[in-house]
């Protein structure tokens, strides 16, 4: 049986169980795209995969790197999926605790280099950071440049992730365009209510894109 590890922030976390460090597998994946992926892969491939979700709400790339031994290497996964970036941007706007593009790129590369060093046979997928229009990402009277800040920075961080996947021969999972297309049809609030956290429909879109790209590396 092969192990798939999901890593990231609250988008990945999305109400997973945290009771003990021993909780690892399928019954604690939360309510987001990892569970949707498990449903599809588990049905189509009985007994072939087990799933671990170690996403943590509020995490930035520096937080993932700090957890590399406990929540990556020690689990010895066959596949690692990472979705990280929106908090690096968001926290810089609201709490002066973000990670600028230069350091985001540097730490992300450190993470990948260490993963490839200690888990040389593990296949890695990097998911594209994304943003839509919602209550957390639109202009306000006190913050009139907010929407532009999120849009420009998310595009920049997305390009960083894309370059990292190219440089290290990893699988890139594009998300922004698919989410945008759905938002045109249904409205942003139906895809990510606050502009950051996906709805069930948003998570389904992410899961479908994830599976499409997983098929290339499995």
Please tell me the total number of residues recorded for the chain in this structure: 218
Show which residues are catalytic.
Answer: 10, 194, 197
- Is residue 68 classed exposed, middle or buried when 0-12, 13-18 and 19+ CB atoms within 10 A define those classes? middle
Backbone φ and ψ for 210, nearest 5 degrees, come out as -60, -50
Four-residue CA torsion sign, 87, 83, 129, 45: negative
Number of separate helices (H) and strands (E) present in the chain: 9, 5
Q: Can you tell me whether residue 96 is helix, strand or coil?
A: coil
């Amino acid at each position: 049986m092969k192990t798939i590890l999901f890593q990231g922030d609250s988008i990945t976390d999305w109400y997973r169980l945290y009771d003990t460090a021993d909780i690892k597998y399928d019954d604690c994946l939360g309510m987001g795209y990892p569970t949707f992926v498990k449903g599809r892969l588990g049905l189509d491939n009985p007994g072939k995969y087990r799933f671990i979700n170690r996403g943590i709400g509020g995490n930035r790339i520096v937080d993932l790197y700090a957890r590399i031994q406990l929540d990556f290497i020690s689990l010895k996964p066959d596949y690692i999926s990472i979705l990280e970036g929106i908090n690096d941007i968001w926290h810089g706007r609201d709490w002066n605790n973000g990670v600028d593009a230069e350091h985001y790129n540097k730490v992300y590369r450190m993470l990948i280099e260490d993963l490839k060093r200690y888990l040389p046979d593990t296949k890695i997928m990097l998911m594209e950071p994304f943003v839509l229009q919602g209550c957390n990402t639109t202009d306000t009277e006190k913050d009139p440049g907010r929407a532009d800040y999120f849009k420009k920075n998310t595009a920049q961080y997305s390009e960083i992730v894309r370059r990292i996947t190219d440089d290290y021969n990893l699988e890139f999972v594009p998300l922004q365009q698919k989410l945008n297309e759905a938002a045109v049809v249904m409205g942003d609030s139906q895809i990510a209510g606050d502009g950051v956290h996906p709805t069930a429909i948003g998570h389904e879109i992410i899961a479908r894109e994830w599976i499409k790209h997983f098929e290339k590396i499995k």
